[in-house]
Amino acid sequence: MSRTAPPPAPLASPTPPTPSTPPTRAALLTITALLAALLIPLSAQSAPAAPTPAAAPLAATADTLGALYTPTATTFRIWSPDSSNVKVTVAGGTYSLGPTTLSGYSNVYQVVVSGDLRGQTYQFSVGGTAVRDPYARMVKPGTTQGVVIDSAAIMPTGGSWAPRPARVNREDAVVYELSVRDFTIDASSGVDAAKRGKFLGLVQSGTTHNGVKTGIDHLKELGVNTVQLMPSFDFGTPVPNWGYDPVNYNVPEEQYSQYTQPEDRVREFKDMVNEFHKHGIRVIMDVVYNHTHTTSVFNGITGKYYTPTDLSGTGNSIDDGNPMVSRMIQDSLEHWVRDYNIDGFRFDLMGIHHYRNVATWATYLNAAYSDRGLLLYGEPWSAAADPQEAQKVRYGTVPALAPGHVGVFNGVYRDAIRGGTDTNVMAYMGGSGNAGAIAFGMRGSPTDLKSTAPIADLWNPAFAYDPEQTVNYVSIHDNLNLYDKITYSGAGGGATGRAGRIDRFAVGMVLTSQGVPVIAEGDEFLRSKVVNGDYTTAKNSYKASDRVNALHWGDKVTNAGVFRYYRDAIALRKTTPALRLTDWDAVRNQMTTRTDGSVVIGHLSANPSAPTTYDTVVVANPTASTYKVTLPSGTWTKVLDTNGAVTAADNDCASLAVTVFRRS
């Protein structure tokens, strides 16, 4: 974490170790010209003459800000639209920055300081006030000081990146949300004590609890192929806390690190990503570019980082409507993709951002890293009234994000399945609700017209131009998790009773619907955050104790049947292309849904090139009785029921269950 502190006395320059040679930065693409055109020029400001600069090395001419290191000199750059009195203190000296012209940026100040500054702390000041570097790639914890580092040159242990796990389409992703701390902090995780709640604890293999696999081996057994890490950049509060209060966007959170040395911390995070990749799991980050911990994070530089009114519900809302703030976000995203090999992002309160800016970020990243198949999605809402709502990410503007492959959480489908997030009404999974809404969600909530134009109704539930744009879920870190929602609504009986059956029914709908499914950590073994009947804390546990938030791996032993169902349903999804259609036309032409009372039947017709894998029927039965479905002609095999994988010839669809049939 970083907390404001007075700038220290300059440090004497030590003799540094021989640095690694930094890799060449990816060439700027033609999209950069578009980005530059989008920037609103700000008037140039007068400034004192900068010191005689050293010859600018190649790497230091990259179009970005912050501290750009080479072995012979470091270039320091910062945006300062309100003051020309800009300085940096580093290695015993204080240097004035002068205005510079940089493509795609405005009001940037720069100085090039000679010498090998690797590992040195540095402190920017603007108008005489010590300020943090918004682009810092490493920081000294508890201060506003950055650390000069070449994060791109530091490689994972072993010196190379493992191959990225293969994935053909974004709809192939099965995402598992987890907290770095909550996943392994409990001793039952089997993780080494020094690694519990840490980055490397997530990837320690060979861990068990009472005979069941835990940690990364559990994820592999479950079958997920993507993890969504809750905030893992530098945030402003001590753990236990989920970290939705960012301070330094480009720095791994040191509370999740086992190390104190800056380069070790960088390598540690890369090792985590690399180990996930070795085990066939991609890594996406939960990013919080909608607000900062406090306004003091950036206000010393300029108030232009923030919106005039609160949009995040926490204050300190970031204004990406300012072109330089938007560019900062894009550069931060690229930093994690380029330097840390990250595979995508989940945007917290993405509804605060202008949809055109989100489209720009996504278009740039997908062009610059076209081999990645980046997974990009977020929440299409904010936490307060917004006078510019029509310009922000909402369901109605999602079609315009299709060219950039950006999706959103489908809150409409979530509520149709489980009811309001913290109410004691369960909707469809509890035996009532709107069958039509379920049928529509099962189809992936497609737009009425095949068009990427924004929709006038900003909350239109028919928003997905492409199935990859609907992120389906019934539980996430916010609000009651799935099992607690079920028990709060009055269902009991544990894994083998009504509660366990409802849990399987709910996630069965998620895993058999078109789109990208997300599962919250622990739902697969009925995780509960309720301690001594306290549902209030469980509803909003962002800073609750480990007793509340930690995964207790004994639950996997107790609720083994639920885990098996999740595992089997995921395996079915991954082996059934019919459940992963990849465009609007396929959904429109190959899938039909109908309702029979409250029962929903989805039929995916045969693809001529793969008739047996595409001819699939999905039945959702919320009633209290077994439902006999009328199947199309041919020979059909039941492959999934309420207990998981099955091979059966009957057409019975159990109560409170998703049943899947394939033509054989």
In the CATH hierarchy, which fold is given to the domain comprising 582-663? Immunoglobulin-like (2.60.40)
Q: Determine the 3-state secondary structure of 415 from DSSP.
A: helix
The pLDDT score that the predictor gives to residue 606 is: 74
User: Angle 498-511/435-442 helices, nearest 10 degrees?
Assistant: 50
Indicate if 582-663 has the same CATH topology as 31-147: yes
Angle at 639 between CA 637 and CA 641, to 5 degrees: 120
299, with CB counted inside 10 A (0-12, 13-18, 19+), is middle
Question: Measuring CA to CA, which residue among 239, 243, 5 is closest to residue 142?
Answer: 5
Q: Which amino acid is at 637?
A: T
The CA distance from 482 to 427, in Å, is: 13
Q: What are phi and psi of 246, to 5 degrees?
A: -65, 150
- Of residues 466, 322, 333, 476, the one with CA closest to residue 407: 466
Tell me, letter by letter, the H, E, C secondary structure of 475-511.
Answer: CCCCCCCHHHHHHHCCCCCHHHCHHHHHHHHHHHHHH
Sheet holding 66-69, edge to edge: 66-69, 73-79, 108-114, 98-100
Asked if 339 and 269 count as a contact pair (C-beta separation under 8 A), the reply is no
pLDDT at 610: 66
- The domain defined by 31-147 folds into Immunoglobulin-like (2.60.40)
Give the three-state DSSP class for 590: helix
Q: What is the mean pLDDT of each run of 10 residues along the chain (664 residues)?
A: 30 30 36 35 29 32 89 98 99 98 97 98 99 98 97 96 97 99 99 99 99 99 99 98 98 98 98 99 99 96 96 95 98 98 99 99 98 98 94 99 99 97 94 96 97 98 98 98 97 95 99 99 98 97 98 98 99 97 95 98 82 86 98 95 98 98 92
Answer yes or no: are the C-beta atoms of 180 and 199 closer than 8 Å.
yes
Strand 175-178 and strand 516-520: pairing? parallel
Going from N- to C-terminal start, the domains of the chain cover 31-147, 582-663
Token pair 């609504």 in the structure block, residue: 489
Residues sharing a CB contact under 8 Å with residue 435, sequence separation 6 or more, in sequence order: 428, 595, 597, 598, 599, 600, 622
Global pTM reads 0.91
According to DSSP, the residues that pair with 287 across neighbouring strands are 347
Q: Determine whether 37 is exposed, middle or buried from the number of CB atoms within 10 Å of its CB (0-12, 13-18, 19+).
A: exposed
- Three-state DSSP class for residue 248: strand
Distance between CA atoms of 252 and 137, rounded to whole angstroms?
Answer: 9
Which residues, 6+ apart, have CB-to-CB distance to 33 below 8 Å? none
**Cβ neighbours, 10 Å, residue 143:** 18
Q: Residue 466 and residue 581: Cα distance in Å, rounded?
A: 9
Predicted local distance difference test score (pLDDT) of residue 153:
95
Q: Would you state the pLDDT for residue 554?
A: 99
Q: Which residues have CB under 8 Å from 251's CB, separation 6+?
A: 2, 136, 137, 138, 139, 233, 234
